[in-house]
Structure 1
Amino acid sequence: MYISRPDYNVCHALLPKLRDLLDHYPLIRLGHIGASKVEGGAAKFMVFTVPSLLPIIEGKEFIRENQFVRFDRLNEQLEQMYEAYTK
């Protein structure tokens, strides 16, 4: 789940990078919540800063990256999760 705001440039910069990263994991779908458009969306996930990235598997949040996403670390974590769930 990717939570962003349309008026925040960092959100716009991260989304294409995130989509490129997820191209390597075809079974992962990207959900996107616009925090200012979907009332309660950010609150439901207890997100207080954007952008926020919350990979959720079987209803459980596994990682939380806020504002400054470290893509190298995120890739390693996604790879581990992907391998565990696709074997």
Structure 2
Amino acid sequence: MGYFASLYASELPHRAVAVYMYLKDRADKDGKCYPAINTIAAELKLSRSTVKRAIGDLVKSGWIRKEQRWRENGGKSSCMYYVR
């Protein structure tokens, strides 16, 4: 099988598999990307809640790491995702 063989063999829900593949596709060579939840939801045609649950599933299972990013004025920005 290909690159995603272990992902397919995992017991992750299909929403998490779709979000992982989206993040992996947008990650740089170091595995980092920072799309907004709204962007992921719109491009995958999923709800914001579904994307949030999928990201939670991926973090809990160790497929990604999530880190909050901050703007210079102290406001929140989109999260940085580290894809393994």
Fold similarity call, TM over 0.5? no
Select the structure that is richer in helix.
2
